[in-house]
Amino acid sequence: MPRYDVRPPRRYRARLLALIAGASLAVAALAGCTPVAPAPTAPPSTSPPPAATPTPTPTGPVLFPDGTADDNLPLFAHVVETVAAGEDAVAGRAYVDALVAAGFDKTAMQVTNDRTTVGNPADSIQFSVLWDGECLVGQVGPSTPAPTAVVLPELPEGGCLVGVTRDIDW
């Protein structure tokens, strides 16, 4: 079977490439010459345009409303450590308020008293969040070497903390 070469002869190839390149440049040049309608201008405004507010991206632990107590322990521990590093390190209300701000349910919380029955500061305070049959429990205070956050089972009689707790009525 004879073989046919369908390519143009060598002497025409260079001319063909030059012709294609020239046509491409001409098309590009003409595309730049097409008239473009001017963009509509808005009437001048007397007030500055509102600034775009980016949506914040969580950078630390987050609440998992459908998660388990173990899923939410990192956020609980983060809140405990943050409050413990502040000026209200041994104030139960500060922990309750910070946990509520993080998304935990205040009605599921318990907290012990900040003071003893004779009015002295408590050696430690405990606070908790009941979470689907389990308890996120925190403890801080002078007798506690470091802020503590753990998951424990719910008590058989309900709740998370043993002993007297104070009303969370604020």
Residues 20-43: tens digit of each pLDDT: 445 444 444 444 544 555 555 656
Phi, psi (deg, nearest 5) at residue 110: -135, 155
Share of the chain above pLDDT 70, in %: 66
Q: Is 77 left (phi over 0), alpha (psi -120 to 50) or beta?
A: alpha
pLDDT tens, 69-109? 999 999 999 999 999 999 999 999 999 999 999 999 999 99
Long-range contacts of 95-101 (CB under 8 A, 24+ apart): 95/125, 95/127, 95/138, 95/140, 96/127, 96/168, 99/127, 99/129
Domain boundaries, the chain: 69-153
Q: Which helix (H) or strand (E) holds 76?
A: helix 69-84
